[in-house]
Chains A and B, each alone.
Chain A
């Protein structure tokens, strides 16, 4: 029982996934209940996480392959919230798609459990297994739609994902060969003891690992799948990929590089790689986003740029001490803020495209007059993505850029700020289209209730994190401090 208690939050999610399939088989007439079974499982997971916060008795599990610390629990909350929003946003779409409702939710939940395991893994083996647990359901989900584009998206994602996994596995194998251990603490000790011998081999291993996770984060040059898959996949799934998969990759990479290859061990080998990748991703994502006319592709490129922003924080964790905590907590806070913001934007896009049947930005003209609430929330999220107060995105960028300044990477911050300027052009351009341009059609409409709820929660989150960031900032700070603590 103790073992199950230690993975309780994941366990609750997996149970709900199984239960969804059972409900489908036993009560075929009650299919409408399935999403609520999924939500109940997520609620139980959150409750279990809260109980760990209350117990404040963090420890390792399963022979040190998993660790239950504040860092992991922070991400449990984030992933459970993301999954709940995606479930709510999917209900309409899945009912219309009409097949395999239970499987859809079960896959979402299974992959969420994978995210949670990723946040708590402290061993290369468990990291890889958790990554595959989260990835394989996503390949299926991306191809869930009936049209060709969705199938193409699913297949592309699967094949490229397989390549990325292979690259990652090769990097892990090299690391193991280098250190004779898969446990992150052991890797750190071995690398430190090994001195400068075989440095090039270590750097090759690091490059392979970054490439493997860079695919999931969608940073340049591993981002090519993003626009095709985001555009082709069902929009709720695209939303899920853009925040869940990215967030989980950042969660695990922060832990892996800090605990295994951290300051004083090998951080000089990778901090510059991260910084350059961050700069290139921000610039590439933003420049490409400007040229887009389809809002889903635009959000896809914008998510590449945002990944670059988060990576600025990763580059900054290469410094020991208080600066490290700044960088890591910046990454954590950014992931949480970005989850609310991007989900809000995607859900608003889902609601609008359900109604107008188009993803072209030009068709958003005058949306303010047709549905003030949707246009308002979308505009709020776009403002937050740009990083303008009083929204969550402002604090996230401020925090991450501040950590980079403290890590003596002012040049990276200058590139970041210039990129924010470029991003304002296309983010606020959408807002301008919605508020200034004349609508082609006057008819007003309201989003369905389930979408309204998830939109309301996302908008409230964006504003709450923007107006009173204090509690979450300090939670992120505490979480970052528990990294690399030995229980």
Chain B
């Protein structure tokens, strides 16, 4: 179901929804970038062409998830679990690549093993997407099986159209918040919208071919050369919509699940002092292989949605797409 609405009607509807829901969406912080934040005034929402620095992942997998607390007081429960989040919330402005990232994360945290925090966060969230009109030069979603106009993992999606938006409602959750808003899309308008979707797909310039398998390249010197410039920081993993490695941390009698990243020197450091990934070569190769080899073997898809964040924000411009594209498969 698709409706056409004006920007003002959309903002008014969101303002109305603020009474009953927590609403999260992109906000522009001058000279800092676009950040997902809780929205207090619907007018603060940024629904323009630029992309958020952090992906929406942090609202499903928290950077520091508080799991339980140890109690040493007499008579108290020795382990106090944190209540699971339950209140309904709406996340607006989620890009198609990020939403598809959630679909990929479902394969890990909502499958054979169910992560209670993740699944509760998934259940309580209504995801309103925002189709991309102007992809960044680092975007390559179409090479990863996605598209700036796809709606996987969303409850509704917005397409900017003139002064307003076309709202495509995908699920009942989406219907509950956006149903009966605006006017039905006409035949001509629908035709134009279909053309617009094709145009959006074609706007992406960066294209790569991810190989079927990287298996034969494991020992190649290529990985050593490709990783020479890597600084071993956490930008690429923390800003990735699908990287999900974590570390368990004890702090002030709390057990926390914190983000961790394979680029860090101590990511696989053992208590004995041994580190099976002692150099950047092993660590960077792991990042690439997890995304384009191991995950694909297990789940049939690349663990990459082509959002371009790791390329855009890498302090030394390491381009994972370029590196995968040029991997020496013939070796």
Instruction: Please say whether chains A and B are actual partners in one complex.
Output: no
Residues of B within 8 A of A (CB): none
